[in-house]
Amino acid sequence: MNISFTQKQEEYISSQVKQGDYQNASEVVRDALRLHEVYRHRVIEELRAEIAKGWEGPASKRNVKEIIKAKIAKRES
């Protein structure tokens, strides 16, 4: 497998190894992938929980256009 990194990513990986947190670049990448997997799993579970709340909760009295308009107004304020 061949993986390319940006200069910034390579510098970060090298700094982690130099600081002694990891023995080599592969350990840094494996740890990053483990953390990404945990993070991604948590985000997906949180989204599923929010979707379930939406399906199980009361129906909104607003229509889609009203909801979008309110979101835009909130973002602009």
Distance CA 43, CA 45 (A): 5
C-alpha angle 5-18-13 in degrees, rounded to nearest 5: 15
Share of the chain above pLDDT 70, in %: 100
Distance CA 59, CA 67 (A): 13
The domain limits of the chain are 7-76
Task: Tell me the per-residue pLDDT of 18-48, one tens digit each, with 9 for 90 and over.
Answer: 999 999 999 999 999 999 999 999 999 999 9
pTM: 0.64
